[in-house]
Structure 1
Amino acid sequence: MNRSGRRPPVYQDLDEILDQFRSGQLALNDALRRLHTQEKPVVTREMGRSNPQQDSAKVKATLQELEHMIGLRQVKTLVKEIFALIQIQQRRQAVKLATEPVVLHMIFKGNPGTGKTTVARILARLLREIGFLSKGHLIEVERADLVGEYIGHTAQKTREQVKKALGGVLFIDEAYSLARGGEKDFGKEAVDTLVKAMEDHKNDFILILAGYGYEMDLFLRTNPGLPSRFPITVTFDDYDETELIQIAKQMLRKREYRLSQEAEQKLRGYLRATLNLDRRNFANARLVRNIIERAVRLQAVRLLDFKEATRDDLMLILPEDLSFEEGVA
C-alpha cells in the first residue's frame, strides 16, 4: 500500500510469484528479485468497486457526454481508440497475454474555445471509470503556477502541481510560454521537472500540454526529447458556421432562451463574416458564449419596462439584443 491507501501498480506475474513464495518454491530474496525485474505493468488498477453495472453506466454516460459535444470528430475518434485500447489490454491481461504499457501524455493543439479543457476533463473522468487513473481529476495550470522567482523555486512549484495531479491529469494551457524567456529563463527548469515527473509517475499521471498549434510546434522544437514523450497529438479544429450556431442554440437552451428567426440570421451573418477573417486568434465557442451572455443582459434591459412580459417574451432573443464588435457586420 502507498501513502494514499492504494496498491502500487500490479505486475503481470505477481500472483504467480507470491504463490511460489508461499509454497516455498522461491526464497524471499529470489521473490523480491523477480518482483523487481517485472517490466510489464498491468493497465488496470484495483479500484475497490462493488457495483460493475453502475460503473458501466458511468462509462456510458461519460462517452455520451463527449459524443453530444458539437463537432470534434477527430477528438471523439481518438478518445474511442484510447478507450478500446485500454479495454482490450485489460482483457489480454485477464487471460495472461502480454500487455504493453499504455502512455497517454498528450499535446492538444487549437485555438481558444475549441473544447480542449472540457475534453481533458471528460477524458480524465473516463480513465478513472475504467480503472486507468486512480482519481481522474484535472489540475489546470499555467506558467505562473509553475515558474518561480529564484533558482530552485521553479522545481519546487512544479513538483507541487504534479503532486496535486497524481492519479489524474495535469493540464498546462499555453505551455509554450515555458520557453519564451530563452536559456536563462526558469521556464526551462519547469520543463525539465515535468519530464522527470513523466518518468517517475508514468503509471498514474497524465500530462497534457495545450496551446495554439504553431506556437506548440515551436515549443516542442526547443527540447529534442519532448516530442517523443508525447505519443498523442490532437488537433482541435475551429468550428464552422453551422457548428457555432448549434453551440449558440445549445447555450441558450440550457438557459431557457431561444433565438428569433431574425436574430439567428443576424448571428449567422456575423459569424460568417468573422470566419472569413484571419482565424489565428478566433475564439470559437468562447466568442459565442460572450455574445450570448451579452444578449441575455441586453434582453433584460429591453424587457425591464415591460409591465406584463409573457413567458415567450422572457425567453426570446431578438435581433436588437445581439451586439457585436464595432466594424463587423
Structure 2
Amino acid sequence: MRDDDIFEKLKKGRLNPVDAIRLLKGDTEGEKSNKIDLVSIDPTKELDELIGLEEIKDFIRELEAFITIQKKRKEQGLQTQPIVLHMIFKGNPGTGKTTVARILGKIFKHLEILDKGHLVEVERADLVGEYIGQTAQKTREKINSAMGGILFIDEAYSLARGGEKDFGKEAIDTLVKAMEDKKEQFVLILAGYEEQMEYFLKTNPGLKSRFPIHINFKNYKIDDLIEIGKLMLKQRDYKFSKDAELKLRSILEKHFSENPINFSNARLVRNIIEKAIRLQAVRLLKERNITKEKLMIIEKEDITEGGLK
C-alpha cells in the first residue's frame, strides 16, 4: 500500500493509527506476496470487547469477510453475489441490539459499503403521523437522515398494530419503496421481540424476503450480566462488594425464572446499578469519615429491586 493511500484511509477513518504506523514503517509483506490486506479495524475490536454475543460476533465476522472477498472478486472481474444488508434483529430488551447496530455502521463504513456509518434510531412515533399524507413525509425525512448509514427501527412490529387502516401501513410501504430505490445508500434494521417480529413480517407478504439477514439476540447468561454490571461500575469508578454481587445475582436469577420471555437483560442491570449508586450516596452522607474506598464500593444494602423501571 502506498503512503498516500495509507494517509487517505487514516483521514477517512478507515484505518486506525496503530495499523497506519505499522504500514508506514514498511510492513508490506502482504502486498509483496500478493496477499489480501485484511487490516484489523477498531469497530471489529469494539465488537470483540462486548460481553457475550459469541454467535452474533461469529456471524458478523463471516459477513465482514464475505463483503471483503466479494469486492476483491469484483476487482478481478469474477462473478459476485449481491450484497443486500437490510436486517431483522429479534430478541428481548437489553440484549445488545442497538449496540451491535451502531458497531455494524462503523464496520460498513470501514468496508466502504456506507459513506458515513452513523445510526439513526427511531420508533413508531417518529414515523407515523396523525393525518393523511403526514406519515409518508415523516418516514421519508427519517430515511433521508439515515442516508450513508443505518436506520434502526425499534419495536418495528408496532407499525402494523392498527391493521389495514392504520397509518403504520403507509410507513411500511414508504420504507419498502426506499429499500428498493436506495438499497445501496442505507441499511434498514428492524428490531423487536421475536414473536412480535415474526407476526409483523407476516402482515406484508413481500416484507420478509427483503430482509436476507435475520439475527436472534438470545438472553444473556447470568454470569455475563454480572460481568456487564461490573463493567458498568468500573466505567464510573465503582465496584461491587462480594455480598452486593451475590445479591445482584440473586435478583437476576429470580427475575429470569419468573419471566424469561420478557427478561430485560442488560437494561435490568443498568436500572439496578443506577439506583444502587443513588442509594450509596444517601448512605454515605450519614457517615462522618468518607474514604476513597467507601466512595467506590457498592454494598449489599445499595442493591435493590427498587431499581427496576
**TM-score of the pair, normalised by structure 2:** 0.87
Quote the residue 2:109 is aligned against.
128
Residue 144 of structure 2 is aligned to residue 185 of structure 1? no
Contact 2:272 2:306 in 1 (8 A): no
State the alpha-carbon separation in 2 of the partners of residues 56 and 76 from structure 1: 21
1:56 to 9, 15, 21: 15
Q: Which amino acid aligns with 1:258?
A: K
Any residues of structure 2 matched to 1:1-329 within 5 Å, and which?
50-52=7-9, 55-57=14-16, 60-325=41-306
State the alpha-carbon separation in 1 of the partners of residues 7 and 73 from structure 2: 22
State the alpha-carbon separation in 1 of the partners of residues 289 and 247 from structure 2: 27
Sequence identity (%)? 57
Query: Could you say what the CA RMSD is over the residues aligned between the two structures, in angstroms?
Result: 1.6
Q: Deviations for 1:101-129, whole angstroms, at most 9, x for unmatched residues?
A: 20000000011111101110010011011
Contact 1:115 1:236 in 2 (8 A): yes
State the alpha-carbon separation in 2 of the partners of residues 164 and 49 from structure 1: 30
Contact 2:14 2:109 in 1 (8 A): no
Q: Which amino acid aligns with 1:73?
A: E
- List alignment gaps of at least 5 residues for structure 2: 18-39
**Aligned residue pair count:** 279
Per-residue deviation, 1:297: 0.7
Matched residue of 1:308: which SS? coil
Per-residue deviation, 1:51: 3.6
Larger Cα-atom Rg: 1
Quote the residue 2:36 is aligned against.
none
State the alpha-carbon separation in 1 of the partners of residues 173 and 14 from structure 2: 37
Per-residue deviation, 1:325: 4.3
Per-residue deviation, 1:167: 0.7
Per-residue deviation, 1:75: 1.4
In terms of mean alpha carbon deviation, does 267-276 or 205-214 score higher? 267-276
State the alpha-carbon separation in 1 of the partners of residues 191 and 254 from structure 2: 28
State the alpha-carbon separation in 1 of the partners of residues 86 and 67 from structure 2: 14
Q: Deviations for 1:53-109, whole angstroms, at most 9, x for unmatched residues?
A: 663338621111111111112211121111101110121122222223200000000
Per-residue deviation, 1:306: 2.5
In terms of mean alpha carbon deviation, does 272-281 or 217-226 score higher? 272-281
* 66 and 159 in structure 1: CA distance in 2 versus 1, 3 angstrom threshold: same
In terms of mean alpha carbon deviation, does 142-151 or 208-217 score higher? 142-151
Quote the residue 1:44 is aligned against.
none
Q: Which amino acid aligns with 2:99?
A: T
- List alignment gaps of at least 5 residues for structure 1: 1-47
State the alpha-carbon separation in 2 of the partners of residues 240 and 51 from structure 1: 42
Contact 2:243 2:300 in 1 (8 A): yes
Quote the residue 1:3 is aligned against.
none
State the alpha-carbon separation in 1 of the partners of residues 109 and 213 from structure 2: 19
Per-residue deviation, 1:281: 1.7
In terms of mean alpha carbon deviation, does 273-282 or 159-168 score higher? 273-282
Q: Deviations for 1:153-202, whole angstroms, at most 9, x for unmatched residues?
A: 11111111111111110000000000011111011111011000000001
Per-residue deviation, 1:308: 2.5
Contact 1:251 1:289 in 2 (8 A): yes
Q: Which amino acid aligns with 1:75?
A: I
State the alpha-carbon separation in 2 of the partners of residues 199 and 173 from structure 1: 21
**TM-score of the pair, normalised by structure 1:** 0.82
Matched residue of 1:276: which SS? helix
Q: Which amino acid aligns with 2:236?
A: R
State the alpha-carbon separation in 2 of the partners of residues 66 and 55 from structure 1: 16
Contact 1:111 1:213 in 2 (8 A): yes
Contact 1:74 1:235 in 2 (8 A): no
State the alpha-carbon separation in 2 of the partners of residues 121 and 57 from structure 1: 18
